[in-house]
Amino acid sequence: MASVEQAPTAQAQEATGIPVENPATGKVIATVPTFGVDEVKQVVARARAAQPAWEALGFEERGRVLLRAQKWVTDHADRIIETIVSETGKTVEDAQLAEVMYAAGAFGFWAKQAPELLADEHVKSANLLVRGKRLVVRYRPVGVVGVIGPWNFPLTNSFGDCIPALAAGNAVVLKPSEVTPLTSLLMAGALRESGVPEDVFQVATGDGATGAALVDEVDFIMFTGSTRTGRKVAERAARTLTPFGLELGGKDPMIVLADADIERAANAAAYYSMNNGGQVCISIERVYVEAPVYDQFVTSVTEKIQGLRQGPSTGAGSVDVGAVTFPPQLEIIRAHVADAVGKGASVLTGGKVGGGPGRFFEPTVLVDVDHSMTCMTEETFGPTLPIMKVADAEEALTLANDSPYGLQASVWTKDVARGEELARRVEAGAVCINDAQVNYTVLELPMGGWKASGLGTRHGAGGIRKYTQQQALLTTRLAPKKDPHMFPYSARKTGVMGRLIKLLYGRGKRA
């Protein structure tokens, strides 16, 4: 279990504390303070005062600090894993592969890529009026970035968004989920030990009111969470015209064609629907299988999921599927399964809340499903896998796109060209062919949702440039005392300008 690494203000210490529970055991393992509106204002003010010096260090020195943080993560991996497991109830392997490995890679990636992605860009123009002038686009940090993180990945999807913001030269205030704040507090200490100056990175623990106060104060807000809450964040940010990025809900489809490698597809379906207890924004949440291989696929997936071990993690390799981290999520999962069964679906394995003091839902396979059921249309965010038989790829594509969400999808076929053609027609920000989820580990690729799954991207050039303001610079070095277009106007000058416009742009009409 992590200790509270960041000392909160006196006012915050006096506020009502938030108990942090291990969802796999039901035991309270820590208490953290709730930061009120005034405390949030003070935190952001300190961040704003500290930011200019951090920016002035430049990319090279900031990169050195981030690389020291990378080493801190690898040196203290066991401690980070223990903290994550204690507050999320996930397995050691989920914490290791999807969190520690990601963070270690991200520190190195952004330390290396920030100087290149945010370097001044020299622009060439076809406009004769600016011939000989120097045209530059530069990227300047916005100032103070606020990050409101989710509970499912407290290191990767919460703290992880802070890394490129820091690399760009911003100060950052992170408001982690009140359910899983301990990892963020641990990383605050890690950054200080790695050389991040005081107040450049701070953690403000608290509830929804704390997050709302943060939106009001910062220069950019990054939110990861539900679509419902994301809309509230957008509405709040609009009051102050604060720019924002949103990664929201998903209902990610898997399309399995008749010529797919069924064994690989079944293994992937079992893993990418159940890893992290199904609490992954890009988890496989629904499967469409062409009729000729439907029975084979269902049998294989069901056998694999039936064999999964679930329970509190007692160490490496002890369990496969962990707990349900967020208390209300357990009821959502139960309700989706009950709705499906009530409308004619069959449960092949699982289907019930697990026993014991912790929060568990059995790994579940559902068949005979359709789009009248919430398990196929709304985000379940749990260890369930509904599988639907389709006549062909076109029906699968139609159903895959029949969703307000568009975060991620996957297509499975041995005909890679056909798979890519189909993937290009899927309405999602990322599509894998014969794979799933691993694109998230490729920090060079943008990761963002279409439709109600979000605005903007993380990763790629956009993943760091969103934390900056673009500034256009035009420099005139050699010029006459007066340009031809300057006052006074005359009929002759106007006539010359008209002929020039026809000469420059009239060819398109003739063509």
Q: Which residues are catalytic?
A: 247, 281
Q: Which residue has the tokens 């913001």?
A: 165
Q: What is the largest CA-CA distance in the chain?
A: 90
Report how far apart, in Å, the C-alpha atoms of 179 and of each of 88, 341, 352, 378, 459 are: 8, 31, 23, 23, 25
φ/ψ of 229, rounded to 5, equals -70, -35
Instruction: Tell me the three state secondary structure of residue 460.
Output: coil
As a dihedral over the C-alpha atoms of residue 481, residue 485, residue 487, residue 491, rounded to 10 degrees, the angle is 130
Return the CA Rg of the chain.
Answer: 26
Distance, in Å, from the CA atom of 240 to the CA atom of 386, rounded to the nearest integer, reads 42
Three-class secondary structure of residue 320 per DSSP:
coil
Asked if residues 2 and 183 have their Cβ atoms less than 8 Å apart, the reply is yes
Question: In degrees rounded to 5, what are phi and psi of residue 275?
Answer: -60, 145
d(CA 409, CA 400): 8
- Which CA distances in Å does 145 have to 158, 263, 299? 13, 45, 48
CA distance 189 to 201: 10
Cβ density class 302-319: b for 16+ within 10 Å, e for less: bebbeebebbbbeeeeeb
Burial status of residue 282 (CB atoms within 10 A of its CB: 0-12, 13-18, 19 or more): buried
Cβ 218 vs Cβ 417: under 8 Å: no
H or E, element range at 183: helix 182-194
